[in-house]
Amino acid sequence: MSSTTDKIKGLANEAVGNVKQGVGKATGNEKLEAEGKAQELKGEAQKTVGDVKDGAKNLADTVTGKK
């Protein structure tokens, strides 16, 4: 996956996770709330992977003189 794809999927997972948490809180559904938190954390991790990929590419470009 490209860094951009990781970041987009991460943002989507964070958004869905936040919605699930909100619905879970509003309805008193602790399971849904927990699922939402887990999905939000997954999204944050995906965004971090995208950031790391960008950093690695930038470092490689710098080392090879492409930047």
For the chain, give the mean pLDDT. 94
Q: What is the pLDDT of residue 65?
A: 85
pLDDT surpassing 90 at residue 67: no
Q: What is the pLDDT of residue 28?
A: 98
Q: What is the pLDDT of residue 23?
A: 98
Which candidate, 48, 19, 47, places its Cα nearest to that of 33?
19
Total-model pTM: 0.81
The C-alpha atoms of residue 47 and residue 24 are separated, in whole angstroms, by: 24
